[in-house]
Structures are given as structure tokens and as C-alpha cells.
Structure 1
Amino acid sequence: MAEHYSSFQRSSWRWVAQRVTAVFLIGALAFHFVLLHFINHAAEISFAGTQARMDEIGYLSLMVTFLVTAAFHGLNGVYNALVNQGLEGTQKRVVGLVLVLAGVLLVGQGTYVALSMNGFI
């Protein structure tokens, strides 16, 4: 049988963070589906309703945390998939920096939108 290989070193901070963020994302996604697909049906969602939800500090903080967690989880997963495919050396560093930059831009833009919806900006 083929030997199992992963760029994750078990119990490293990225390995643990990938698992912790996965658990958080499952819970946050379940909350999202219940709130926006069962309690409020998709056809009933409006811009004003979104602004009202974002005015709630608990909802706003959950959505920003959801954004940061999803960005980290996704980009960390892409990075490790590329490393597993043999990415190394300068290419590995460049891809890592590009993914970090993409994550910072994504989280920055998402946070800006959330704070705008909240009326903070």
C-alpha cells in the first residue's frame, strides 16, 4: 500500500489550526444556513435586513470571525496541497507570500464591507 504523505507535521500549529478552523466553520456554516435559509428564507433577505443584522455586535463579530477563519482555512489548505504536489524552494516562498497577500486583501475587503454594512464606516 502507498505510504501516506502530508506536508502537515502532526501537532504543528498549522495542522492544529486547520482542524480547529474546520470545526468552527462547520458550526458557523450551520448557523448561517439555519438563520438565512430556514428562519429567513432567501427570497426574504434584503439589504436593509442585512444592515440590521450587521448592527448586532454579536452577528458582526461572528461574520468577521467567519471570514478570517474561512480565509485562513482555505488558503492554508491550498498552500499545503501545492506543497504536497512537490512545490519547494523559491516557488514555495513566492506562492506562500502571494497567498498571504491574497488573504490579507480578502479579509481587508470583507471587513470593510462588514463595517460599512454596520454603518461604522
Structure 2
Amino acid sequence: MAEHYSSFDRKGTRWLLQRLTAVFLIGVLAFHFMLLHFVNHAADVTFNGTTMRMQQLGYFLTMIAFLVTATFHGVNGVYNALINQGLEGTQRSVVKWALVAASVALVVQGVRVAFAMTNGGLF
């Protein structure tokens, strides 16, 4: 029988954060589907409606948390999958910092879009 190998140290912070972000994402995705697919049907979701939702502080903060959490969860998963495939040394360092840079760029752009979607009406 093959040995099980994982780059995640089950006592490590990244392992714990991967699990916690997964739980958070499941909850936020359930909220998203309920609100935007069952309460408001796809045809009823408009730019103006999105702007109105983003002007509500709770919704705005939830979407920012969703952005940051999903980015971390996805990038952390990709990074660990690459480590499991044998990435090491200089390549590992280059990939790690490239993923960090891409993550920061994604979060910064996402926050910019979120603020733009408030139409200046936040708070």
C-alpha cells in the first residue's frame, strides 16, 4: 500500500487555516447562493442592486472577508499541491513569492472594485 504524503504539517498553522477557511467559504457560499439565486433570481440581479448591497457595511465586510479568505485558501492549496509534486529549492521560493505577489494584487484589485461598487455610499 502506498504511503500517504502531505506537505501540510497537521500541527501547523497553514493546515489549520486551510480547514478554517474552508468552513468559512462553505458558509459564505451558502449565503451567496441563497441571496443571489433563491431570494433574488438571476434575472433580478442588477448593477444597481449590487451597488445597493455593497453600500451595506455588513455585506461589504462579508464580501471583503470572502475575497481574502478565498484567495488564501486557493493559493495555499495550489502551493501545497506543488510542494507535494516535489517542488523544492529555488523553484519553491520563486513560486511562493510569485503566488504571494499574485495574491496581493488580486486582493488589492478586489478591494478597489468593492469600494467602487459602493458608489461612494459606504457608511
**Is this a same-fold pair by TM over 0.5?**
yes
Is 1:24 equivalent to 2:27 in the alignment?
no
Q: Deviations over 1:55-108 (max 9, x none)?
A: 000000000000000000000000000000000000000000000000000000
Residues 1-40 of structure 1 mapped to structure 2, 5 A cutoff: 1-40=1-40
- Cα deviation for residue 11 of structure 1 reads 1.7
**Structure 2 counterpart SS, 1:24:** helix
Q: Which residue does 2:64 correspond to in 1?
A: 64
- Cα deviation for residue 32 of structure 1 reads 0.2
Q: Which residue does 2:45 correspond to in 1?
A: 45
Letter in 2 for 1:70: A
- Cα deviation for residue 119 of structure 1 reads 2.5
In 1: Cα distance, 2:43 partner to 2:90 partner: 48
Q: Which runs of 4+ in 1 moved over 4 A?
A: none
In 2: Cα distance, 1:115 partner to 1:96 partner: 29
Q: Deviations over 1:25-44 (max 9, x none)?
A: 00000000000000000111
**Structure 2 counterpart SS, 1:115:** helix
**Structure 2 counterpart SS, 1:33:** helix
In 1: Cα distance, 2:78 partner to 2:22 partner: 14
TM-score by length of 1: 0.98
Q: How many residues align?
A: 121
TM-score by length of 2: 0.96
**What value does the CA root-mean-square deviation take over the aligned residues?**
1.0
